[in-house]
Structures are given as structure tokens and as C-alpha cells.
Amino acid sequence: MKSCIPNVPLSTNVTVPVRLRRAIHLHDLVLVERIIKKNPDKLQNPDFEDNGNTSLHLAAQLALLEIAQFLVDAGHEDDFISCNANGETPLHLAVETSVPIALLLAAKFPRCIPWKNKQGADAVMLSARTSVSHPTNPTSPPAQQSPPRLRSTASSPQLLVSTLIQYSPIPASVLLAAADNDGNTALHYASAYGQLKAIRALLAAGSNPGARNAYSWTPMAYSSTVQAEVYFRGLVGAAGESGIGGVVKREADGSGSGGGLHRGGVGGLGVRIVRTGEEVGSRMDMLVGDGRRRAGSAD
């Protein structure tokens, strides 16, 4: 007989690490407190069958605020910041599952905000995409579409993005210019996932709408819908009228030098391209899950 809890087998002789993980999965704060009190050396309790996630990773993944608060207060991150096999801190997981836990971790451990995982993504980039639960690739049949790593329950991406920028130990200009392994900034993520509030917050904080990724494409070129692109253009236009200037507007359109048809991906999404001089509705969809360049032509 198998346990209904992942990686937690049913057994009459359950070890302390398994008991602790089971208690977290059962949302049993009292039991978690009791186990940690009797076994303080098992506080972090990394599970190497689950990507090396620690107790705090698990609490963040399951959006368990009270347990996360207890683990933090018990000293889970006092000696060093826990990091799983993908280079993710608990904050990386929390920004996609729980705004309250993400705010707690950002306030307690601000040095985690610019920390990048193995894909080069930091907490701001991941928080910029959180409210879309199931982004899809328009060129793949439904059976081949991959859901995001975690189902998001974050309710206020604009608040979270703004707070992460505020708490960051590095200047906002440096944080917002950071890019993942494909050269995508947080604004690329927000645009690709249709996060209009996050786009607004990032632009207000100073994100560059003309930033180009490794494939020479700007955030606006990844707009998930026509409406999102129109909204994005409006924000950039308003910024231009405030003094940013026309060069940024041309770069945001993707019409500056260095453009081309090769297109990299953002988080496994398909990309809709709107070429300068064509009507807003024209598009080219491409498969971009593996980060490889693929060529195509606009409709």
C-alpha cells in the first residue's frame, strides 16, 4: 500500500525525517513543532528524493504560512540559506505559490531576492509570471503542452514585484537589468505571461522596455495577446511622453538594430510577433520550449 503523500511511504517504523515531511504535508503545525523540539538537528531535513528540498522549501511549495513562519523563527536559515538541487531558495518557490510567504522570506532574507537558480532566474523574474496558472504554447497540441513548475495562487503580483524590488540589497537598476540564461529580464517574463500589473510595476520601477534577450527580442515582442501589447505600448508611450524618449519606444517595438526572426523562449511559452509597420493583429507563433533558435516568417 502506498502513501497518498509524495515520497512519504506508509510504514510502522517511520524515521524522523519522514515523519517531519509527513507532518508538513498534513499541514499539522503542532506535530511539526513537536518533532523539531525533540529533534532540532532535523530542522532543515533536505529530501534528496525531492530535488533536495528542505522543510522550508516544502512549506513554501505547499503555501503553508504558519509552518513557514515557525521554521524561520526556529532558525531554519540562520546558518546559511537553503538551496535545492536546482539552485532555488525557498523564496524562489514562494513567489509562485504564496504572496504572504514570499513577503515573509523577502523581509527576513533579502539577499535571496537577486539569487539566481540554474536557469538564471531570480525571484523578481519568477514573481513577474505568477498569476498565470497554465500558460500554453500555441504551436503545440494540448497533449504536448507543459504546465508551469508550480500552480500559482499568488493574488497580488504587482504588490509582490514592487516589494521585492524595494527589499533587494542591490540597486533596482541592477536588479531589473538582470537576465536569465537566455537573456530574458523580468519584463520579458511579465510580458510573455500576460502579467499586465507586473508589467506596469516593473516599468514604474525603471525596467527597460528596450532590453533585448539573447535572440535580440524585446519584452513587448512577447506580448501574450493583442490587448496586452496595446496596453504595453500605452505604458511605454506614457513613459516616452514623460521624458524617456523615442529611442526607447522604437527599441520596445523590437524595431531597433539587431532584430531578426530567430526567437528564444521565455519559460516554455510560444511567442506572438508583431512586426513594425504591420497591423497589430499580424503574428507569427513559434515553438520555443528548449531555448534553441528557430526560424520563421511573419504572417
Distance CA 270, CA 204 (A): 26
Q: Taking the mean position of all CA atoms in its chain, how far away is CA 218?
A: 18
pLDDT given at position 92: 97
Distance CA 108, CA 167 (A): 10
Region for 82 from its dihedrals, namely left if φ exceeds 0, alpha if ψ lies in -120 to 50, beta otherwise: beta
pLDDT given at position 276: 38
pLDDT given at position 5: 58
pLDDT given at position 9: 53
Distance CA 153, CA 159 (A): 14
Mean pLDDT by 10 residues, the chain (299 residues): 54 85 97 97 96 97 97 95 97 95 96 97 94 36 30 55 96 97 96 93 95 96 90 85 44 42 49 38 32 35
pLDDT given at position 257: 35
Q: What is the pTM of this model?
A: 0.74
Distance CA 129, CA 56 (A): 22
